[in-house]
DNA sequence: AGGTCGACCTGGCAGC
DNA sequence: TGCTGCCAGGTCGACC
């Protein structure tokens, strides 16, 4: 799915487009993605005003006038598109009283939509680690967490109980900029490397947000437009291409069932 | 008990 | 053309 930068881009688009608008009608085209009984889902939404649009990790929370939340997890291929034209991947349409609508598109239907009184009803929110930009994601926290495990650092970066919002693309990119080999056991990350790892986590995610995310295949922003961070990606999906720093061909390996890309010369 | 591995789905693409 | 197999940004539960 979209990782943190992509979900944050969608959040900002939805905030701009939906804040203080009132849901008039919810049209369900494929109920697979609605993870609760449809009648209670639509009943909880109808007539509700959107009072806040927030993000936690890779999940969107739209607060309603009732105090409840519409939680949207777009997973791998979900999209929230303002005023888009429905297509074969459209699973639901939210119509607004003031005019306009939002499509929920999701090719693979892994996405999850539900209305809850409190996000903590959903396990994801209960186990989620700190946001990468939060104070809690500190050098001391990172050092203490990495010391506890021998798992490869790449797997740890992608573990959302360690830090929220980092997925397969940005884990590879952050490690490239930090010059750390993705297979290095987390407990072997040196104390002196941690400030740089944290700094690159911040700069990569921040820059990706500025570029409105990366579009490999399916990701689109709230206007249905691709992100442009692809042009800034150094290693992800660049197997065989020359490393931007040393010209060594980028390698692809598989870790925890996911592709990892790195430069074996630059990253130790 | 931490960590890995299918399952959940659809569709695009490479290779034959 | 059409088949097969592989691959895809995430998350969870079963299992070792």
Q: What are the E-state strand segments in A12-127?
A: 23-28, 50-56, 59-64, 69-73, 78-82, 90-96, 101-106, 112-116
**Residue A30 in this model has a pLDDT that exceeds 80:** yes
The answer, yes or no, to whether residue A37 has pLDDT greater than 90, is yes
Comparing every residue's Cα with the C1' atom of nucleotide B7, the nearest one is: A110
State mean pLDDT over A7-22.
98
Nucleotide nearest to A107 (CA to C1'): B10
The mean per-residue pLDDT over the stretch A48-52 comes to 98
Q: Average pLDDT for residues A199-228, to the nearest whole number? A: 95
Q: For residue A106, which nucleotide's C1' is closest to its Cα?
A: B10
pLDDT at residue number A1: 58
CA of A161: nearest nucleotide by C1' is: C11
Q: ∠ CA(A80), CA(A125), CA(A113), 5° rounding?
A: 35
The residue that leads in pLDDT, A86 or A216, is A86
Residue at minimum CA to C1' distance from nucleotide C11: A75
Please give the mean pLDDT across all residues of chain A.
97
User: CA-based diameter of chain A, in Å?
Assistant: 58
Answer whether any strand C atom is within 7 A of the Cβ of A151: no
Protein residue minimizing CA–C1' distance to C10: A75
- Edge-to-edge, what's the strand order for the sheet holding A69-73? A50-56, A59-64, A69-73, A112-116
Q: What is the distance between the alpha carbons of residues A78 and A88, in angstroms, rounded to a whole number?
A: 13
Calculate what percentage of chain A has a pLDDT beyond 70.
100
């Amino acid at each position: 799915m979209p990782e943190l930068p992509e979900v944050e881009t969608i959040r900002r688009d939805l905030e701009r487009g939906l804040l203080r608008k009132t849901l008039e009608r919810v049209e369900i085209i494929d109920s697979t993605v609605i993870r609760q009984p449809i009648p209670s889902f639509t009943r909880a939404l109808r007539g509700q005003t959107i009072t806040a649009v927030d993000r936690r990790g890779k999940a969107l929370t739209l607060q309603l006038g009732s105090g409840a939340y519409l939680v949207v997890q777009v997973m791998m291929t979900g999209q929230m598109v303002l005023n888009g034209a429905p297509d074969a991947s459209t699973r639901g349409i939210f119509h607004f009283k003031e005019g306009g609508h939002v499509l929920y598109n999701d090719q693979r239907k892994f996405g999850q939509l539900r209305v809850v009184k409190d996000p903590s009803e959903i396990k994801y929110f209960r186990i989620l680690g700190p946001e990468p930009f939060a104070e809690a994601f500190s050098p001391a926290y990172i050092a203490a967490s990495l010391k506890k495990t021998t798992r490869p650092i790449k797997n740890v970066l992608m573990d959302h109980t360690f830090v929220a919002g980092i997925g397969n693309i940005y884990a590879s990119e952050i490690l490239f900029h930090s010059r750390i080999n993705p297979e290095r056991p987390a407990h072997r990350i040196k104390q002196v490397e941690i400030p740089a790892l944290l700094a690159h986590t911040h700069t990569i995610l921040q820059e990706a947000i500025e570029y409105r995310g990366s579009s490999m295949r399916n990701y689109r922003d709230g206007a249905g437009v691709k992100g442009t961070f692809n042009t800034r990606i150094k290693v992800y999906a660049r197997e065989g291409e020359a490393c931007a720093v040393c010209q060594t061909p980028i390698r692809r390996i598989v870790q925890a069932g996911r592709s990892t890309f790195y430069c074996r010369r630059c990253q130790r």
